[in-house]
Amino acid sequence: MRITTLIVIAVILIAIIGVAIVIELAPMYQSSKKVLRVGTSPDFPPFEYIDNKTGEVVGIDIDLVKALAKKLGYDVQIIQMDFDGLIPALINKQIDIIASGMTITNERAQVVAFTIPYWRSDQAIVVRRGSSFKPMGLDDLVGRTVGVQSGTTAQDLLQKYVNSTGKQINIKIYTSYVLAVQDLENGNVDAVVIDSPVASMFERIRNVNITAVIPTNESYGLAVRKEDTALLNQLNNALKEFLNTTDWQAILQKYLGV
């Protein structure tokens, strides 16, 4: 074989390898935007829930976090998990933000950083529609079976009541509020304790009624890792601005009809 033929073959081989490498690496460079992985527990309408028609996660929190990310130049990936898994997942870096109607508490603020509040809530007691059982407060839940979602402020409220009074409430813990409300409809629990705005939504869409609201004066915030101070500042600035826009009003209109 002549030397020129060898050179031609070598050049062709190098070109093929070069093209292959470019094709292999291209996806990594396709989007220059950084992706924010958003963790949520979609059993909490109207803040996060699964749209029956599309199967997608939607809600106030989802639209809010997407709007903030867009403002800040991030792409968003929504990752579903149980509510009690959100803080561990954030700390273990499986997600970058929690957007899940999460109440800002001192206990949680020891391990994660919260943004400024964007919503407030109390706790509500919910029973089966038409039930003769009409609890007006925690005292009326004594001796009853009451459903809550694992890791929530509602679970905390009941536990603290039981611990401080020494009275007995059979607290039934669910991985999701959708399952708790389903069990309430099916007669397997006497009541469910849940955030008041979500109780109002369940009252509209399920066979349940609110009998009492317990003023707990909670505020929802988004959460990030404590060390992600730059992201926290970005989110806070964007959130402060966004809460005064008609875009925020449009999100509320869409999910609350107000």
> Would you tell me which residues interact with ligand GLN (CB under 6 A)?
41, 44, 83, 100-103, 149, 152-153, 177, 195, 218
Minimum gap (Å) between residue 32 Cβ and ligand GLN = 33
Minimum gap (Å) between residue 207 Cβ and ligand GLN = 20
Three-class DSSP category at 152: coil
Rounded Cα–Cα distance for residues 125 and 211 (Å):
6
Nearer to ligand GLN, 81 or 251 (CB): 81
DSSP3 helix / strand / coil % (the chain, rounded to 5): 45, 25, 30
Three-class DSSP category at 248: helix
Nearer to ligand GLN, 72 or 252 (CB): 252
CA 146 centroid distance within chain: 23
Nearer to ligand GLN, 95 or 102 (CB): 102
Nearer to ligand GLN, 115 or 153 (CB): 153
Minimum gap (Å) between residue 198 Cβ and ligand GLN = 7
Three-class DSSP category at 245: coil
Minimum gap (Å) between residue 61 Cβ and ligand GLN = 9
**Contact of 101 with 108, CB cutoff 8 Å:** no
